[in-house]
Amino acid sequence: MKKDVVEKLAALITAAFGLVAALAWNGAIQAIFKKAFGEADTIGAMLVYAIVITLIAVWATIKIGKIAEKAKN
């Protein structure tokens, strides 16, 4: 039981650090986006930002998956 608790705590702490890192990157990417395209106060600009970030996330996820698959072989 103690081992399960430690494993779950480790997973939760890791996830929490991942969330903090994601929020930090979100702030940095938003600042870059604003510098490149101006203020993102409109719905249209926010949608463009969300779409661009989603496309980057999908691309990165695919690349990381391919790298992980090669590492297994």
| pLDDT(24) > 70 | yes
Q: Where are the domains of the chain?
A: 2-72
Amino acid at 7: E
Q: How far apart are CA 52 and CA 66, in angstroms?
A: 21
Residue 34 structure tokens: 């604003």
- Position 40 scores a pLDDT of 62
- Position 26 scores a pLDDT of 87
- Position 34 scores a pLDDT of 80
- Position 29 scores a pLDDT of 84
- HSE, CB side, 13 Å, CA atoms: give it for residue 7: 4
pLDDT digits (tens, 9 = 90+) for 29-65: 888 888 877 776 677 777 888 898 899 989 999 999 9
